[in-house]
């Protein structure tokens, strides 16, 4: 199960609350499609300062996250970070990006599922055989929201929640089209 949250914009309390809620619901990996790339580092530093976790525990926690920078980040486009991240969910190629306008033709040809930030509310949009999934925002929206994606019989199931645990989207099934090849230029 993958926990997804974005656009924390420095609100480390909301970042931690989203992590805790999604972890409690079963997430063991987390996608953070930007909205302040360094919030993960700052949150981990806060946990380190609290003294309740060992350095190795904090390193393992940080490894559970896949994150992509927003355009305003100093990390955006750097060789070690890039502008988006590619990851696999089972045999499904996924792309994690803050702004879906950063996707290029090759991204759209190869990936089936796109996780992005920069949206006011959680939702799934299907265009052709592709899904664009956003967890909503942790700051700057009417509700602070996050989401879960889980594998469900070779498909995905999407759920979204407010930070107080109220369900907004309950197990929306995303039927995936399986590709047999990748395109590369």
Q: For 117-144, what is each residue's pLDDT tens digit?
A: 999 999 999 999 899 999 999 998 889 9
Task: Answer yes or no: are the C-beta atoms of 156 and 23 closer than 8 Å.
Answer: no
Asked whether the predicted pLDDT for residue 181 surpasses 80, the reply is no
Calculate ∠ Cα 103-32-107, nearest 5°.
Answer: 20
> Residue 12: enclosing H or E segment and its boundaries?
helix 12-24
More confident residue, 83 or 19: 19
Give, in order, the Cα–Cα distances in Å from 156 to each of 9, 124, 171. Answer: 28, 11, 9
Task: Answer yes or no: are the C-beta atoms of 9 and 139 closer than 8 Å.
Answer: yes
Asked whether the predicted pLDDT for residue 55 surpasses 70, the reply is yes
Structure tokens at 78: 């750097």
Per residue in 10-20, pLDDT tens?
999 999 999 99
pLDDT at 153: 85
Report d(CA 161, CA 143) in Å as an integer: 9
pLDDT band for position 184 (cuts 50, 70, 90): low
pLDDT at 178: 61
Collapsing DSSP to helix, strand or coil, 134 comes out as strand
Task: Answer yes or no: are the C-beta atoms of 31 and 87 closer than 8 Å.
Answer: yes
Top-level class of domain 2-174: alpha beta
Asked whether the predicted pLDDT for residue 183 surpasses 80, the reply is no
CB 65: neighbour CB atoms within 10 A? Answer: 15
Give, in order, the Cα–Cα distances in Å from 185 to each of 69, 109, 130. Answer: 25, 11, 21
Calculate ∠ Cα 50-34-169, nearest 5°.
Answer: 95
Per residue in 100-121, pLDDT tens?
999 999 999 999 999 999 999 9
Task: Answer yes or no: are the C-beta atoms of 145 and 162 closer than 8 Å.
Answer: yes
What is the Rg, in whole angstroms, of the alpha carbon atoms belonging to the chain? Answer: 16
Asked whether the predicted pLDDT for residue 145 surpasses 90, the reply is yes
Asked whether the predicted pLDDT for residue 39 surpasses 60, the reply is yes
């Amino acid at each position: 199960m993958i926990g997804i949250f974005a656009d924390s914009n420095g609100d480390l309390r909301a970042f931690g609350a989203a992590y805790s809620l999604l972890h409690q619901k079963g997430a063991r990996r987390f996608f953070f499609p930007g909205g302040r790339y360094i919030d993960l580092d700052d949150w981990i530093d806060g946990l380190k300062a609290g003294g309740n976790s060992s350095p190795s525990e904090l390193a393992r926690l940080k490894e559970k996250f896949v994150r992509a920078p927003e355009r305003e980040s100093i990390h955006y486009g750097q060789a070690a970070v890039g502008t988006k991240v590619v990851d696999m969910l089972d045999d499904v190629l996924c792309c994690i990006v803050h702004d879906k306008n950063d996707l290029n033709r090759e991204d759209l040809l190869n990936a089936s599922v796109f996780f992005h930030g920069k949206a006011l509310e959680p939702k799934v949009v299907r265009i052709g055989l592709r899904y664009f999934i956003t967890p909503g925002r942790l700051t700057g929206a009417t509700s602070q929201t996050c989401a879960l994606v889980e594998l469900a019989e070779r498909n995905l199931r999407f759920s979204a929640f407010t930070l107080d645990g109220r369900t907004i989207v309950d197990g929306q099934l995303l039927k995936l089209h399986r590709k047999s090849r990748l395109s590369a230029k």
